[in-house]
Amino acid sequence: MSDKIRIGTRDSELATWQAKQVQTKLQEFGHESELIFVKSEGDLDLTTPLTEMGGKGVFTKALDDALLENRIDIAVHSFKDLPTENPLPLIVSAVMEREDPRDALVAPRGTDFLNEDTGGAVIATSSNRRRAQWLHRYPNHEITNIRGNVNTRLRKVDENGWNGAIFASAGLKRIGLDDNISVYLDWMVPAPAQGAMAVMIREEDKVMMEVTSQLNHDETDLCTGIERELLNEMEAGCSAPVGAFAEIIDGSVHLSAIALKTDGSLQYDIEVSAPISDAKGLGRKAGRKLLEMGASEIVADLRS
Q: DSSP string covering 222-272, please?
A: HHHHHHHHHHHHTT--TTSSEEEEEEEETTEEEEEEEEE-TTSS-EEEEEE
Alpha helices in 103-191, H assignment, sequence order: 128-137, 150-160, 169-174
Distance CA 236, CA 83 (A): 10
CA distance 249 to 99: 17
The span from the CA of 171 to the CA of 259, in Å, is 24
Torsion angle in degrees (nearest 10) through CA of 283, 289, 292, 296: -30
What are the distances in angstroms from CA 141 to CA 35, 53, 76, 154, 264?
42, 25, 36, 20, 11
CA–CA separation, 129 and 189 (whole Å): 9
Quote the CA–CA distance of 58 and 36 in Å, as a whole number. 19
Catalytic residue check, 65: no
CA distance 235 to 223: 19
CA 176, distance to chain mean position in Å, is 19
136 and 115 in contact (C-beta within 8 Å)?
no
Which residue among 64, 73, 81, 221 is the active-site one? 81
Grouping H, G, I as helix, E, B as strand and the rest as coil, residue 145 is: coil
Helix or strand holding residue 168 (H, E):
strand 164-168
Residues with a catalytic annotation lie at 81
